Chain A
Amino acid sequence: MIPAFVDNETWTITILGWLIVFAALIFLVGIFLVVPRLILWSTKRALRKKSKYSNREIKDEELILSGEINAAIALALYLYFNEIHDEESNIITIKEVRRRYSPWNSKLYGMNNVNFPR
């Protein structure tokens, strides 16, 4: 037997429950719409204190970077640090090799007179 309707409690939980989930996430949305503005405001304030920015207005675009720009910078840095060894000077130099004399590396001591004609 399938009841045609559900009781009031079920309706209450169904509607109220969903609305509370919405409310919780909308609160979070509200806060995270405000937080970046607050951070921007405090950054601008800190920059104005520095002499470089004291005589002009700082635009939001100067402080906000898009994810794409960040990704490009990150990729460029990654490539730079990983491929830095490939950038050679292209100057080939033959360095003079000097060995100090030692009886251990003396050519004379290392020679055998095997085929010397007697």
Chain B
Amino acid sequence: MIKSFKLPLLLLLFMFLLTGTNVFAGGFDSMKPEIFEKAWEGLAKFWNFTGFANAHYTNFIMIAVGLFFIFLAIRYDYEPLLLIPIGVGILIGNVPFLAGNKIGLYEEGSVLNYLYFGVRQGIYPPLIFLGIGAMTDFSSLISNPKLMILGAAAQVGIFATFWGAAILGFMPAESGAIAIIGGADGPTAIFLSSKLAPHLMGAIAIAAYSYMALVPVIQPPIMRLLVPKKERLIKMKPPRAVSKLEKILFPIIGLLLTTFISPSALPLLGMLFFGNLLKESGVTERLADTARNSLINIVTILLGVTVGASTQAVRMVTDPDTGELINKGFLSPDSIKIFALGAISFVVATAGGLIFARIMNLFLKGDNRINPLIGAAGVSAVPDSARVVQNEGLKCDPTNHLLMHAMAPNVSGVIGSAVAAGILLAFLM
């Protein structure tokens, strides 16, 4: 008996809340069919706003990709500082919504759009480089400068990918943006693609960061394939101690020299060397501390989330030339090609560094010889590739520690990929 009363009462209350109409004021006579119609309309409108109504199967594919990134980061500890923000960003970017309400990342005036401004205009990558500069010790590089060439050798991955992308039919600017994945440097990839091919930035950034996270999986088989065990056992002589003066001179000379050669890379290299001077000068410890901790953390959060959110599965835009609606979303054949090219470029870059290290050994004698494994660290995934070299070295000889030696080509790879980005920008802009 009580139950039978409860239901109509609840219904009336619900209608009162939904329509804002006081159905009790005029008695039950005022309950006209319009109220139900309005309620139904309201419900329908609400339904149209929900993600369920706007969902497309591609959204669920991308949500699965985002969840996979989060899983990789938490379960296997693969670059968690990047994969967690990017993974959550993918979830945020692929929750379906009704367009035109300033919600989405690509909608002018939305909060996400404001945050994305830093990516679109290439603001975040130089700030990341500032932090990297403030936390990088270039001592191993300064003590053995010839290892710097390995950082250049590994950039073959960038230029081979550029060539490959052109063969696959990408426009020159797009090929340049895709090529930078071979540099294994996320901020550089975002910086260059924001200038050369903004519509491909999501795919390029995700490919670059994914392969960076997979460095411990991709590199070891190539290292074992291209370097015979005898050469993997080479012990390198310990690096000499580097004076403070040399450490201070390095960022100043490096900044002037590299940016005079490649001025387009000024935002990246300028900030990298600036950050390093903050660290090495010894008198700006507070600034260096902020750059390598708080600042880089804040920018990493914003960069990761917005890059992740930029991977909307389907994004139909009007082609300015033909006026037709075309899909510029993440799930397109272009993205698959970009991922394939990215994988190849990583393999080529690693192989380039290893082979060049073996070639260098032909000209080096005695304890000046280098362990060719460190050539793999020429790809600039700092410090993961150096860590992989250390692990591979220890597998062959548990007393052979290559980490310090591998850091030299590793950090020179960062400089090399930034110079390469500047060169591509100069050629293709």
A residues touching B (Cβ–Cβ < 8 Å)?
Answer: 1-3, 6-7, 9-11, 13-15, 17-18, 20-29, 31-33, 35-36, 39, 64-70
Contacts and interface: CB of A to CB of B under 8 A. Distances in A.
A106 B262 CA distance: 87
A32 B251 CA distance: 11
Interface string B148-189: 110111011011101100111100100110000000000000
Given A2-B168, A6-B163, A35 B423 contact: no
A20 B162 contact: no
Which of A1, A67, A69 counts the most chain B CB atoms within 10 A?
Answer: A67
B152 A22 contact: yes
Nearest to A27: B257
A6 B243 CA distance: 49
Interface stretch (B30-38, B196-204, B412-420): B412-420
B314 to A, nearest CB: 25
Nearest to B420: A21
Which of B158, B166, B168 counts the most chain A CB atoms within 10 A?
Answer: B166
B258 A29 contact: no
A17 B84 CA distance: 34
Contact of B152 (A2, A13, A14, A26): A26
28 contacts: A1-B169, A2-B167, A2-B169, A3-B169, A6-B166, A10-B163, A10-B172, A11-B163, A17-B423, A17-B427, A20-B423, A24-B257, A24-B261, A25-B415, A26-B152, A28-B145, A28-B148, A28-B253, A28-B257, A28-B415, A29-B145, A31-B257, A32-B142, A32-B246, A35-B246, A67-B239, A67-B241, A68-B238
Contacts of A24: 152, 257-258, 261-262, 416, 419
B249 interface: yes
A3 to B, nearest CB: 7
Nearest to A15: B159
B416 A13 contact: no
A70 B404 CA distance: 14
B254 interface: yes
B384 to A, nearest CB: 21
A32 B144 CA distance: 9
Contacts of A65: 240-241
Contact of A26 (B149, B158, B238, B423): B149
The 5 closest A-B pairs by CB, nearest first: A32-B145, A70-B241, A25-B152, A6-B166, A10-B166
A3 B171 CA distance: 13
B196 to A, nearest CB: 12
Contacts of A11: 163
Contacts of B246: 32, 35-36, 39
